[in-house]
Amino acid sequence: MWSYLGQNFLRDNKYKTFIVENIKKAKEKYKIDRAIEIWPWKWAITKHINFFQYFTIFEKDTNFQEKLENLIWKENIEWWDFLEQNLDKKIEWNFIWIWNIPYYITSPILRKVTHPNNKNKMIWGIFMIQKEVWEKIKVWARKKSYLRWLLNYNYEVKYLKTVPAKSFSPAPRVDSCLVWLISKETRNPIKFEDLLYFLNNFSAYKRKTLAKILKMLAKKDIDISKFQLSDENKKKRIEDLGREDLKKILN
Question: Which tens digits make up the pLDDT trace of 68-112?
Answer: 777 666 667 777 778 887 877 777 778 888 887 677 888 888 888
Q: In this predicted structure, what is the pLDDT of residue 40?
A: 75
Pairing assessment for the beta strands 34-38 and 77-79 based on DSSP bridges: unpaired
Nearest 5°: the CA angle 92, 119, 75 is: 20
Q: What percent of the chain has pLDDT over 70?
A: 94
CA distance 249 to 52: 44
For residue 88, the tally of other CB atoms under 10 A from its CB is 11
* Res 244 pLDDT > 50: yes
**C-alpha closest to that of 128 among 5, 3, 15:** 15
SS3 156: strand
* Res 113 pLDDT > 80: yes
Average pLDDT, the chain: 86
Model confidence pLDDT, tens digit, residues 115-139: 888 888 899 999 999 999 999 999 9
pLDDT band at 41 (very low <50, low <70, confident <90, very high): low
CA distance 103 to 126: 14
* Contact (Cβ atoms closer than 8 angstroms) between residue 233 and residue 248: yes
Q: Measure CA 152 to chain center.
A: 10
Q: In this predicted structure, what is the pLDDT of residue 233?
A: 94
Q: Which of 13-22, 59-68, 120-129 is the most confident on average? A: 13-22
Spatial CB neighbours of 24, under 8 Å, sequence gap ≥ 6: 51
CA distance 49 to 44: 10
* Contact (Cβ atoms closer than 8 angstroms) between residue 92 and residue 111: no
Q: What is the mean pLDDT of residues 50-78?
A: 76
CA distance 130 to 164: 10
* Res 23 pLDDT > 90: yes
Model confidence pLDDT, tens digit, residues 199-225: 999 998 989 999 999 999 999 999 988
Q: In this predicted structure, what is the pLDDT of residue 4?
A: 47
| Domains and their CATH numbers in the chain | 9-183 (3.40.50.150), 192-250 (no CATH)
Phi/psi class of residue 87: alpha, beta or left (left: φ > 0; alpha: ψ in -120 to 50)?
alpha
Q: What is the mean pLDDT of residues 4-32?
A: 87
CA distance 126 to 146: 20
